[in-house]
Amino acid sequence: MLGNLANEVIFKKAFTDKFVLQCLVRDLFNVDFVPATVETEKRFVATANRPKIAHIDFNSNDCRYDIFAQSKDQRVIVEIQKVDYDYNFDRFLLYHNMAIAEMQRNSKEYKTDKVVYTIAVFTGKYVGTERNGKIVERDILFHHSNLFDLEGKEFDVFGHKLIFLNHHYIKDTTPEGYRDWLSLVKESIKNPENPSINLKNHGVKKVAELIDYEQLSPEELTENKNRNAAESATEAYRLAAEREGKIQVAKKMLKRGTSIEIIAEDTGLSIEQIQELRAE
């Protein structure tokens, strides 16, 4: 039985493993990555001589990298963010750009020797939109920081890359390497007792071994349960707030004389719930 990768404890246990990181980066970016250091809850600390970047305090709890790894040859930085809430794409572009800006601040010149790869793994079903408000529903989305000419030829000047992964939108055409990791996340959440994952992928197999529920230590199991309880409480509060908002909308529609059927369709409340509100 797999541990749930939507759980922060399980997620970090899986993706702080250096072999797993090496396989993941190879499959996603076709890059040889040999991590030397792997940190969690990474923050860029602001001091009097080292101020905040662009007025963003990356020392706060809200601005941190879940997993932050650097290669042995100091050429590659990999960031991994677990996303289980409805943040828009701009937040992760900020994280990506701040890691680049941090390197430039520490460099004697603007040009840096390191390339930043940021991976945003959505465990929940995000709501990302285009600038016109249209919802974006894709399994894999890329942002490449490079230059292109009018014919579309790419010039590898910067090399930094940002990728969004969401298992909710896996398609038949999803390439195998990406599919392996998307399926791993999906199966750990939806089908942990009998997961259908590609164990021929050595990185995926290693994750399956690491997060095997029977192999978790007593400390990891306790932390896992505490995290599940906290996340359940947070979700309960979110649902309660969402329901309260629907109730207020339904009350306004009732005052306008809108039919119960239309209110139910627009708010998602049941006919019985709306009838109770009307009786009040």
> Do 128 and 259 lie in a common domain?
no
Round to whole Å and give the CA distance between 99 and 101.
5
> Do 278 and 227 lie in a common domain?
yes
> Average of pLDDT values for 62-68?
76
> Average of pLDDT values for 206-216?
89
Residues ≥6 apart with Cβ < 8 Å to 199: 205, 208
Does pLDDT of 195 surpass 80? yes
Does pLDDT of 239 surpass 70? no
Identify the pLDDT of residue 59.
Answer: 53
Segments forming the whole domain that contains residue 48: 8-216
The string of pLDDT tens digits covering residues 128-144 is 777 777 778 889 999 98
Round to whole Å and give the CA distance between 279 and 138.
44
Q: What is the DSSP string of 212-258?
A: BGGGS-HHHHHHHHHHHHHHHHHHHHHHHHHHHHHHHHHHHHHHTT-
Q: Could you tell me how many residues make up the chain?
A: 280
> Do 226 and 129 lie in a common domain?
no
Does pLDDT of 156 surpass 80? yes
Of 29 and 235, the structure prediction assigns the larger pLDDT to 29
> Do 193 and 105 lie in a common domain?
yes
Does pLDDT of 207 surpass 80? yes
Is 2 inside any structural domain? no
Domain boundary pick from 191, 216, 241: 216
> Average of pLDDT values for 131-158?
87
Does pLDDT of 47 surpass 70? no
> Do 139 and 278 lie in a common domain?
no
Mean pLDDT of the chain: 82
> Do 225 and 191 lie in a common domain?
no
Identify the pLDDT of residue 87.
Answer: 60
The string of pLDDT tens digits covering residues 3-35 is 889 888 899 999 999 999 999 999 999 999 999
Round to whole Å and give the CA distance between 85 and 261.
31
Of 220 and 271, the structure prediction assigns the larger pLDDT to 271
Query: If you ran DSSP here, which 8-state letter would residue 52 be given?
Result: P
> Average of pLDDT values for 156-169?
90
97-111, 151-165, 191-205: segment of lowest average pLDDT: 97-111
